[in-house]
Amino acid sequence: MSGIIMGSIDSDETLLGLCASYAILASVEDCLNLMEQRQFCTNFFSLLVERDSHEGIAEIVNMPKSAVIELVEALLGPAIDKLLSLMSCLPPEPDELEEDSHIWTQRLARSVALLLDLGVDSYFGSHGSRFDVKYFKREMDFIRYFPKNVLGFECSMRPLACLDCFLDKKSVWVFQIGVDLAPWSLLSSEKREKLSILTTIDTFAHIRGPVWAELVEQDSSENPIKRIKKYHFSKGCIRPMAKSFVTSEVKGHWFSWPEEYRLRFSRYFTPQFEREPEVFLRLDDKLLIGAELLVN
């Protein structure tokens, strides 16, 4: 198992640490500005952030460039809180008995700066390129930064569920964010759970290229809300499999084109009463891509 663990800054280097964090964030902003000028991105980038480690779900979280700009200008305080709230993460309060508040703030700023820096590198490689080889000259399974009593993160290569075939079995960079987390890097790659992806179709298309929807035929007099059978893209399609009764998410599965054709032809040989009811999508539905399939 290969990786890197980043250490925190000594307490007597608080000011230098804040300056270093500012330089990292300013570099992130410059990179986003350049990529936007060259039309490689718009006004946001995205991270793959793992939800609760027992759920096996990673969400594609959009990070607006405006939040990075606010962070560069303010560096500390409300800007960090706003940015972390996008990832459903709350920073811990400093322990006044153990930590000087300035040191705690500096460590939090460094953690957020490194997180965004790695996040941008991951994003511009569609979350799968080996930027570790480019910058560290070797392949690493994880990059971890967990300073004492401060929000930290681990960025590790993780396999996906059904999208694993779409990516030719290649893993992607996923961020695990929190305080005193059990690091995934302690588990061998064979024992790591494959992750489902939670996303909207717009965000997914922003990373993986053109996507077009196959609409359900309906009369103009019917409900004006368009219903979608499936999304076509690249080497296959995403079909909705079931709607969640607890949340607004729709479970979906990626099919390669040969699998899709087999599925379509099999319906002709299945009696009507044995067919599963079709599930349709709306444009604003959130997709949970990685639903399990039961094969008869």
The model's pLDDT over 195-208, given as tens digits with 9 standing for 90+, comes to 999 999 999 988 88
Choose between 59 and 140: higher pLDDT. 59
pLDDT at 164: 87
pLDDT, the chain, mean: 77
| pTM of this structure | 0.78
Task: Using CB atoms within 10 Å of the CB of residue 236, give its burial: 0 to 12 exposed, 13 to 18 middle, 19+ buried.
Answer: buried
The model's pLDDT over 23-80, given as tens digits with 9 standing for 90+, comes to 888 888 899 999 888 888 888 899 999 887 667 899 999 988 888 888 777 665 545 5
pLDDT at 232: 92
Q: Any idea where the domains of the chain sit in the sequence?
A: 3-188, 210-289
Q: Which of 196, 122, 125, 129 is nearest to 154 (CA)?
A: 122
pLDDT at 41: 81
